């Protein structure tokens, strides 16, 4: 098996996104734990890193599948890679808005764009690989749940 640059670049991007998100989250945890009212369905804090690490792993595998299928000549390939990049940016931006800047309402609006990019991404990825699209479903469902939690937190605070 020949090592290709994407074998390093794709995981490096995923790690960078996860690290930046966790930095912003960590900087806002005191606020999150002590100053806001949470709902009864808010998971324990340990659930979030487990969920996000799983999501990042599945998303990384999905990108690998799309990239390595050799479909770079299809019209949507650039759009798919661009959506993965936009989604990564929106993922980090949410942590910045919610945890670091405490802008819950703006984070909620931003999360709608995150969800839209995920739906669009799944629809496009499915054209070249059903497996790659299915790997994105946990991310889609988790973001929907997180958006609901964010909405409840916005209403309570």
Instruction: Report pLDDT digits (tens) over 60-119.
Output: 999 988 888 766 556 778 888 889 999 999 999 999 999 999 999 999 999 999 999 999
Range of the domain at 119: 6-29+45-156
What CA–CA distance (Å, rounded) separates 137 from 58? Answer: 9
In the chain, the number of structural domains is: 1
Is residue 39 assigned to a domain?
no
Q: How far is 1 from 108, CA to CA, in rounded Å?
A: 44
Q: How many helices (H) and strands (E) does the chain have?
A: 6, 0
Compute the distance between CA of residue 110 and CA of residue 107 in angstroms, rounded to an integer.
5
148 in a structural domain: yes
Do the domain assignments include residue 37? no
Residue 35 lies in a domain: no
pLDDT: which is higher, 39 or 75: 39
pLDDT band at 21 (very low <50, low <70, confident <90, very high): very high
Q: pTM (2 decimals)? A: 0.90
Is residue 14 situated within a structural domain? Answer: yes
Tell whether 80 is covered by a domain. Answer: yes
Q: Return the CATH number at 12.
A: 1.20.1260
């Amino acid at each position: 098996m020949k090592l290709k640059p994407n074998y390093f670049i794709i995981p490096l991007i995923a790690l960078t996104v996860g690290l930046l998100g966790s930095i912003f989250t960590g900087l806002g945890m005191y606020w999150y734990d002590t100053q806001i009212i949470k709902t009864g369905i808010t998971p324990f804090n340990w659930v979030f890193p487990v969920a996000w690490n799983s999501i990042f792993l599945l998303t990384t595998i999905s990108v690998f599948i799309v990239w390595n299928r050799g479909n770079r000549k299809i019209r949507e390939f650039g759009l798919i890679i661009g959506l993965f990049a936009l989604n990564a940016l929106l993922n980090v931006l949410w942590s910045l808005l919610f945890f670091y800047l405490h802008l819950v309402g703006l984070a909620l609006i931003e999360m709608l764009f995150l969800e839209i990019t995920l739906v669009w991404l799944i629809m496009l990825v499915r054209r070249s690989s059903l497996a790659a699209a299915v790997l994105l479903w946990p991310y889609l469902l988790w973001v929907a749940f997180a958006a609901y939690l964010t909405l409840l937190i916005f209403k309570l605070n």
